[in-house]
Every structure is written in C-alpha cells, then in structure tokens.
Chain A
C-alpha cells in the first residue's frame, strides 16, 4: 500500500457516463433491496457541494477521502463490506474528539492506500508497529470509510441538546426479532472496498486506535456486490436469486441525492446545524430462510417479488428497467409495497451487501442481506417504508434480526478537517 493513489479529479459537471442517468425513477424498497447504487467502477460520482467529480481510475484505485459529503454513500458500490458498530467507553468529550482526529488521520492514509502512522515495519524494535500490516502491497481498492453517530452517543457525552430530531430511535416493526448483540451502537464505521482484506484491515486498525475510547459492539462482513452495476450491465442478485436494486439512486443523480439523501439547511436547526451535508443511515441485519425459499415454486417466488426471476422485469413488462405497473402486481408483492408510489414518494439510497456467516448449527445457511440505506430523514424514509412492508409476502422468508440507526456527519473537507469537527468544535 505505498503507491500513489490513482485518483483523477475533474471539475466538469457533464456526466462522465450518461447511462447511469437512466435510472431516474427509483423505488426505495427497504425489505430486501440490495445495495447496488446504480453507478459502477469508472463512473463519475458527485462528491461535495462544489460539484467536484471524482473518478476512480480503476477497481484498484483510490477514492478521494475529502469532500463535502463522506465517501461511501454516493460512491459507486464496492464489492465488499466490513461494518462495525462501537460502544462508547468514555464520557470525556475531548478524549473522544481526539480519537476522531486520530481516526481521520488513519482513514486519510488508508483510503489512499498508505499504512497507518509510521507504517507496519521499520520502526523501533521495542514497539508494536502502528499499522497491522496485512494490507501491505495491496492496492487502495476503492476503500471508503464512512462513520456515523448513534442515538446513545449524545447522552453519554452530555450533549443531548445536539441530537438531531431526525435521529429517532427506530420503533418496533412487525416481525422484528432483534438480537441486542447485533443491534445499536454509539458509533459506526462502514468500510467498503473491492478487496475484503483492505476493508477488514481498515476496521481492525480503527478499532485498535479506539481501544479505551470505544469497543466493538458488533460487526458484519458483507459480499455480493459485483463490480458491474452500471445500468447496462447486470444488476446484482440477492441470495434469493432475484435482481435487486434496479431502481436505486445513482451516484450521478445529483438532484435525487439532494432530494432524498443529503441533509441541507432546510432540515437543520440549532441542534442539528452540524449535520448539514450529512445523511442518516439505517442498518438492518435481515436473515433469510434460505432453504424454505429454495423449495418455493417459481411462480410464487415471482409473485412475492413482483418481478420475474430471469430478466427481473416487473409483472406484465418485458424488460428489467421498464416502468413497473404496480396494480398488476399482487397486493402483497415486495416491489409494490416498497415502491415510492406506495410510500408518498419515500426513497432510500440502498447500499447493502449479502452475508453468509457459515451455518447456524441446524445445518442451515446463516445468510441474508445486510441492509444499509442512507436518507435525509429517517422519519420520512425508512420508517414509513418499513411500516408499509408489514404485509410484505416476503416476510415469510425473511426476519430482521439486527437493527441500528446513525447520524452520518458531513465529509472531511480537507487535510485540516476531521470527522465530527462541526459537532465537537465550539467554534464550528
């Protein structure tokens, strides 16, 4: 991890790839929508409020860390995920802020393909190396690191007055069977990369820097995002075998990002001014009952989704990207219930990954979807959509077993900035 980051920065506002603009009308299905922001490797994405567009030169290249928004949200989705939720171990605000500065410095290096601190070798023989070393020689692999703050953080640090109204505790939803050891968290880190070792290395090193200040509460590895998510290429399939994320918000869709994803001045008050440029994240660990699903007839599977299995076309349509006619679908079809038209327009940017954590001790796959969705306001995004999915036919085959919600602060603007500065600096 020592080579020069292969990042090209452009100021052009013209889309680098016009094709990703085809997915203009998306649906924000929360139940099972796999990540698949519809922009792939090599496609431009918008970072920051200054419309600077960053192009990852290739799948091994670096994604710019700095920007008005954090990377890892509208960034083309990478192949792999390591997501970690942390509990706060300190109630000292200054100590936590220092950790965020240390995390920022480490993240700045790791996303550029560089080792943490003074590296993994060559230092003082008596001291453990700053970097753990397993990413040496690996490319930056489009690593993005995105952090968020959970509801509990504000009270624990004595700053309840700065908890945004939009960061609500999620209500209990129909069918939830949440494991507290896979839920919640005061801080989160989403590490996405095309190389799982690069993602794991990043979380491991941040956890190490965090010892004493934060401790890992739970974490999740994810896979299942193939590198081709440009609309003309195949949309990835979830573990139920269906194409997922066909109508997601694309990284190039500045208007929809602004409308549904980024928090702006209109959303904030004195409490939440620090969130401008940020977003909200809902994470749900959704276990799939794989074996019963596999014994389900093709017709029923297609009825449940509201799309056909081969092409992914909506009921009664010929092509995957044809506009869905919701009334042609069964009333409890997943796509119908999750569609923005069924939810007063609510739309989520989905960025989830499949997971398989081996088997469950009963000989069944311990597998499912690790759902990640970004939105401008949880109350207008995930909550109404998930409520609407109470009657989803798919619920017979899935179960939500983990849940967490985080406020995602704005991006780190430059080399002097740090994660959460606006929240933790008095002058900010």
Chain B
C-alpha cells in the first residue's frame, strides 16, 4: 500500500474535470452556439431530444419525470465518464455541460441510482474527431469489469474474515486473512486511486502518519500473529474494515481508467512486489507475502493481456519479452505451492535469502520491460 497516490489512476471526480469541462453554471462561456439536449428520465425510460449533434460545448437539460431519484451519465464507449449528475430527485430539473469531441457516446439514466442504467447511444459529429482505437476502448471496458469483479468477490471473503475475528476465532481468522486480500492486491493501483480508502484498510504500522489510527488488515494481522489474541478493539477494527471495503466496492466502478493507467498500474503492481513483498515487509507477521505477490502479478498480467493486441502491433518484441518474463515469474512462484490452483503458498519466513534473490531477479526481469508497456500502447 501507499499512503497517498493519485498520480496514475484518478478518481472519477477529478477525472471528469480533466476529461471534459463540466459544470452547470458556465453561462459566461457558453454562447448561443451551445447545443442543448433535453434528457427526460423516468423509471423505465431515458429519452433524449437529439441523437446526433455537432461536437463542442454541449448542455444536457435533465428532467426527472419518474418516481425514483436518478442520475445521468455521459460515457465514452469504454464506460469512462465524460460527465455525470447524481441525486436528481423526482420532479426536479438539472443542467450539466460537457466539452464533447466528435465521436460516439452513451447517455445513461440510472433510476434508483443503481446498475448500468437505461442507455441511449448518441453521436457528436464534425470538428476534429478524437482518435480512438476501439480495441483500447474494449480493453478498458474489460478491465473495468475485472476490477468490479474483484471487488465483488472480495467483499464476502472479507466478511468471512471479519466474522471470524468478531467470533474470537484466532485460527479461523488466520485462515481467512490472506484470501480476503487477493482481490484487493490484484487491483491495488485502482484502490489506491481513492486516496482515502487505502490508508484505512491496507496501512502498515510503519506507514502511519502522526495522529493516524492503525486500522485495517495489517492491524488485525498483528493481533492474530504477533499478539496472538483478539481484543474488543480488534472487533471494531473488523467492522470498520468491512465498512471501508464496502465503500471501495461502491466507488471502484467510478475510477478513471485509461489504457495508459492500466499499463502503468501493471508496472506499479510489480513495484509493490519489489518494495513490499520480496522484502517480506508487507506481511511481516503472517508471512503470507507470496499470496499478495501472486495476486499482484495476476493483476498486472490481466492488464497486460488486455492491452496485448495493440502492444503486439506496436512493439512485437516487447510482447515476446513480456510473455517470457511473466511465464518465468509464474513458474518460479509455482515452486512455492503444491497445488497450482490454490493460494496456499510457502510461508515467506521459510524462504531463504538465495531464493528471495531469485524472486527479486525475476521481478526485475519482468518489471523492466513492463515499464515500457505504457509507451508501446500509446505509440
């Protein structure tokens, strides 16, 4: 984990501001040339007044004629958010504006503020077309789905862990600890983009800032393995962990994800391995570092696989090298588990210096070419 990191994947709120000029009070800059699109949202419909309009400054005039609170999104083809408006009550009107380059978009109304919403395909025409590679859009959409799936799968596993802690079951809690972290570790750069969640759930004792309370997985790890007892406070920490992860689960779909951020995220996952797992710092009490290690590599590989078709076209040699180094590292990791389908890895305190160096060398061998992935994708 890192305490603060906003560099690569930024949360939706920030991203929307970067991706498009948004806001409902920009009268000064919006002249008579503004395109106004009326969006009428009901409980089962999402009607738009125009499906094609000239690119440029666009204003959505939204009216909620349904009975539920709704929200309206303008999305890129990869589901990245161009702009959005939440909490539009029944019978109310809202305005939202966006700078939309030529291209295809989706307008989605989400009555009850849930699900994928009712969708309308629209098109901004003329002007300079934003150059988009549909394969990259597909990659981002798939990765977004992956991230959500990981969060979906993690929550019940974390609940199992929290329940064991609250029941005072030391051994049961220990057993449930590492599996509850896998989905988080696979998608850590996305999770870290929400600067406020990571410090609560994945901070280590040495990473605490002055006045910061030690909470989350590693706080419980310390209790279970180092202190060997579960205190009343630990049970509160377990509840808090679930609440924080629930927030992560809810917000993860809003993360700004781009092909570049996917590639850089893959590299960052290897950085996590290099600085935290290979050294045994991440799981210093439980020594389950190799579980995190494997999850980090899997997450990186997921991004890479999705970006591979484009990468192959731009830099075939890089693909050859990355395939080789991912395979080499995975083969090496398999030496530390008897069942290739389980996450039952050797305890890291049993991994000697020579073997740790071998792991470190394999990480370097993969991370160096992986650092070239982002450039190969945007080339």
The chain A residues found within 8 Å of chain B, CB to CB, are 87, 89, 124, 126-128, 208, 211-212, 215
Contacts and interface: CB of A to CB of B under 8 A. Distances in A.
A208 B325 CA distance: 15
A126 B372 CA distance: 8
19 contacts: A89-B361, A124-B378, A126-B260, A126-B263, A126-B264, A126-B377, A126-B378, A127-B371, A127-B374, A128-B372, A208-B368, A211-B364, A211-B365, A211-B367, A212-B321, A212-B364, A212-B366, A215-B364, A215-B365
Can you list the 6 inter-chain pairs with the closest CB atoms, starting with the nearest? A127-B375, A212-B365, A215-B361, A211-B368, A126-B374, A126-B375
Contacts of A128: 371-372
B156 interface: no
B232 to A, nearest CB: 42
Q: Which of B263, B365, B378 has the most CB of A within 10 A?
A: B365
Interface residues of B, number: 19
B361 to A, nearest CB: 4
Contacts of A215: 357, 361, 364-365
A124 B375 CA distance: 7
B379 to A, nearest CB: 8
Nearest to A214: B361
**Chain B interface, >50% SS class:** helix
B127 interface: no
A89 B365 contact: yes
B375 A212 contact: no
B91 interface: no
Given A124-B378, A126-B375, 15 more contacts: A89-B361, A124-B375, A126-B260, A126-B263, A126-B264, A126-B374, A126-B378, A127-B375, A211-B364, A211-B365, A211-B367, A212-B325, A212-B369, A215-B357, A215-B364
Interface in B310-364: 321, 325, 357, 361, 364
Interface string B223-251: 00000000000000000000000000000
Contacts of A127: 371-372, 374-375
Interface of B: 260, 263-264, 321, 325, 357, 361, 364-369, 371-372, 374-375, 377-378
Contacts of A126: 260, 263-264, 374-375, 377-378
Nearest to A92: B324
Contacts of B366: 212
Contacts of A89: 361, 365
Nearest to B368: A211
Nearest to B354: A181
A128 B264 CA distance: 11
A279 to B, nearest CB: 29
Contacts of A124: 375, 378
Nearest to A208: B368
A126 B264 CA distance: 9
A329 to B, nearest CB: 44
A124 B374 CA distance: 10
A124 B321 CA distance: 21
Nearest to A90: B365
A124 B372 CA distance: 11
Contacts of A87: 361
Nearest to A217: B357
A63 B270 CA distance: 38
A208 B369 CA distance: 10
Nearest to B260: A126
B150 to A, nearest CB: 25
A309 to B, nearest CB: 41
A211 B324 CA distance: 13
Contacts of B367: 211
A87 B361 CA distance: 10
A215 B366 CA distance: 12
Nearest to B379: A124
Q: Which of B263, B357, B364, B377 has the most CB of A within 10 A?
A: B364
B372 A212 contact: no
A84 to B, nearest CB: 14
A95 to B, nearest CB: 10
A65 to B, nearest CB: 25
A215 B368 CA distance: 12
Nearest to A128: B371
Contacts of B260: 126
A262 to B, nearest CB: 35
